[in-house]
């Protein structure tokens, strides 16, 4: 079942790319007591994700924080080393936390998996963005396959 507004963020252990290397985080703890914007992408270094999705959140991180967002995070079904390299390549610095859901456990727990096995990519995350306050989803926008409208930073900025 796909996560929706009013649902709690599932507590799953994933990895976060940090300057010190990969760090295990529990999503239940990561979202607790904060307002978090989480956006998911099908994959690091992929065309739309690299040209538009992640850069939009990097550029709008200060505006989101000015509206009360404590944490902006990007998630993909990739490993923490790939997410760290992508964040470095994109100049993320401390503006966006780079979360790695290597086995798609968190993605599946939210019902946001997308099977791209036929295209050689395996199970990935649908393109989405959500806002959660104290671990409860208050807004979620899931893109239709191939689309990039409702999950971009500017749309999320209006929803916060």
Catalytic residues: 49
Cα four-point dihedral sign 72, 77, 79, 83: negative
**Per-residue exposure over 16-25, b if at least 16 CB sit within 10 Å of its own CB, e if not:** bbeeeebeeb
Assigned token pair, 132: 């959660």
The separation between CA 4 and the C-alpha centre of its own chain, rounded to angstroms, equals 15
Assigned token pair, 12: 């799953």
Q: Greatest CA separation found in the chain?
A: 42
Cα atoms in the Cβ-side hemisphere of radius 13 Å centred on 34: 16
């Amino acid at each position: 079942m796909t996560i929706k507004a009013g649902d709690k963020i599932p507590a799953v252990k994933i990895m976060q790319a940090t300057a010190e290397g990969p760090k295990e985080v529990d999503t239940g703890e990561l979202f607790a007591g904060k307002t978090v914007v989480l956006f998911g992408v099908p994959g690091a270094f992929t065309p739309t994700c690299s040209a538009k999705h992640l850069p939009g959140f990097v550029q709008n991180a200060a505006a989101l924080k000015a509206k009360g967002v404590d944490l902006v995070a990007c998630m993909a079904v990739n490993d923490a080393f790939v997410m760290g390299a992508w964040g470095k390549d994109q100049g993320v610095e401390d503006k966006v936390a780079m979360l790695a859901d290597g086995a798609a456990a968190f993605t599946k727990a939210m019902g946001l998996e997308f099977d791209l096995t036929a295209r050689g990519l395996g199970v990935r995350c649908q393109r989405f963005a959500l806002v959660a306050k104290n671990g409860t989803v208050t807004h979620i926008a899931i893109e239709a396959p191939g689309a990039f409208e409702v999950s971009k930073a500017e749309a999320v900025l209006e929803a916060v």
